[in-house]
Structure 1
């Protein structure tokens, strides 16, 4: 196993518990997934045969590093990481940017990093604001496609457990 940071390992542990194993629910817009890695995002992969080690490498390379989670404070990095898995990179980054009021262009640049790392705004405040953004995203999903309403309880349960995982690192 690569020498991943403690912050990444904590985020990954949370995510793997939240995502679970192999799922192929025809009603789920995510389609076939394992550990949260979808066939839609990785059409060349045999999702059913995906190992936890392969999923870890994918999450680190294609999610954690690309979104610069390694440059965000613990807690906020977990929120963004989980948001990317649930909503995609652009939406998750926009949710982060809206929290402190940075222009929500969906790109992690210097302003976003400075805003997320400033001592003037607490990590808890940013995380609570991201949770609000995610709640609104779920509401929009259901409004646009009522068949997705069957997942709403699970999504909100996920947000509850996400905030508990944030508290583990924020204290």
Structure 2
């Protein structure tokens, strides 16, 4: 772990980020070498400078943004080799807070703090108890991939994102294992992998309302069937009305039962999907 790792980690991330892009499907909008227009505007304002198109960003500006906005946010200078690069790439792609959450969740039972996206004493204590950094990198990348799959951009950018995570995993684990084979170590450019992947673009979990409505309607139908059954028993001795009421009771009972079963099944599906998405977005405790 050393400050000198910043330059190497930055070079790798820039391979993934490429140059200037302005894909209307990319929620990051106009982006140059991984820096969005919004981030560049904030940086320029902090320097008491007028804003300008991110396409005009200079190399020194880019490097300072990466260090201040991402590397320092994940405390890259204090992280083990390989892990520093994993967190930097995740921070640039999905935000520092999200990248740190992947680390905190991946630390598992050894982490006793809150999954809050802030590296503190609890995070470093858990890291100190970790001996297998290669396995930790695997868990972080697995969580990152699960997160990406919940985003609206997955159908269009998923292949690029998936290849990016796979490349980050391989390069970082090569650092941990001290593998010097260039074909294993090098980051590679990946079309579509540069599109920003932020939690704000997570798809909505399915609502339980349709299931509740179907279940309520089905139970209501069964209740009505019971009422009509009682009415049929009262009318049968006096008229022929009991016959058609009986048929209607059967239809109502079957329909109500099917509707109630369908509603219960949908509620189970909706709850399961909501829990899955919440877990992927780190909205639930580990």
Calculate the TM-score normalised by the size of structure 1. Answer: 0.88
> Quick one: structure 1 residues 165 and 45, their matched pair in 2 at CA, closer, same or farther if it must change by over 3 Å?
farther
**1:12-161 mapped onto 2 (5 Å cutoff):** 12-43=10-41, 44-101=51-108, 102=111, 103-118=114-129, 120-141=130-151, 145=152, 147-161=153-167
1:162 is aligned to 2:168: yes
Deviation, structure 1 residue 46 = 2.6
Cα offsets for 1:47-95 (capped at 9, x unmatched): 1011232211111122111221111111111111111111112111110
SS in 2 for 1:169: helix
Deviation, structure 1 residue 148 = 4.1
Deviation, structure 1 residue 19 = 0.2
Structure 2 unaligned regions, length at least 5: 42-50, 179-286
Give the whole-Å Cα distance in 2 for the aligned partners of 1:105 and 1:152: 26
Deviation, structure 1 residue 29 = 0.8
Deviation, structure 1 residue 157 = 0.9
Deviation, structure 1 residue 125 = 1.2
Structure 1 unaligned regions, length at least 5: none
Aligned position for 2:204:
none
> Moved runs in structure 1, 4+ residues, more than 6 A?
none
Cα offsets for 1:28-49 (capped at 9, x unmatched): 0111111100113233453101
Contact 2:36 2:54 in 1 (8 A): yes
> Quick one: structure 1 residues 45 and 94, their matched pair in 2 at CA, closer, same or farther if it must change by over 3 Å?
farther
Give the whole-Å Cα distance in 1 for the aligned partners of 2:34 and 2:6: 16
Contact 2:148 2:154 in 1 (8 A): no
Q: Which moved more, 1:27-36 or 1:156-165?
A: 156-165
Deviation, structure 1 residue 123 = 1.2
Deviation, structure 1 residue 163 = 1.7
